[in-house]
Amino acid sequence: MASVFCVCQNGPQHLKNPRFKQAIRMSQIPFDHPHIDWDNNDLYLELSLFYNHVGFVFNGPLSKLKAEEKAEWLGTCTGSQGQEIYKTLHWGEGE
């Protein structure tokens, strides 16, 4: 595993967490990570391109991840604006 420098206030306990280790491994997979340009004038087109790119990534380099792990990873690609939008959504049981 790659060397990770931690400056956390409570120490590096999370470095021993298997999910954290998996996230480090995933970040080392060589592919273009999807992103959204929230300043694009054609946001519909931008979201369509993002959707297509995510589909290719989930069917390719990240195909072995569980759905929950894919969802968590996807949250890192939307940026702070996407994460703020996510907070406003209302999810039902099992969605």
Q: What is the mean pLDDT of residues 48-75?
A: 85
Q: In the chain, how many domains are there?
A: 2
Specify the pLDDT at position 45: 94
43 lies in the same domain as 25: no
Q: Same domain, yes or no, for 48 and 25? A: no
**Can you tell me whether residue 34 is helix, strand or coil?**
coil
Taken in order 65, 68, 71, 73, is the CA torsion positive or negative? negative
Per-residue pLDDT tens digits for 1-52: 444 444 444 555 555 666 656 665 655 666 777 888 889 999 999 999 999 9
**Is 2 found in the same domain as 46?**
no
11 or 54: which leads in pLDDT: 54
Same domain, 55 and 20: no
Nearest to 40 by CA among 4, 79, 70: 79
Q: What is the pLDDT of residue 42?
A: 94
First vs last C-alpha separation in the chain = 34
Give the range of the structural domain holding residue 23, as residue numbers without chain letter: 1-30
Q: Give pLDDT, residue 22.
A: 62
Based on the fold, state whether residues 82 and 51 are members of the same structural domain. yes
Assess contact for 26 and 73: CB atoms under 8 A: yes
Please tell me whether residues 40 and 13 are part of one structural domain.
no
Three-class secondary structure of residue 14 per DSSP: helix
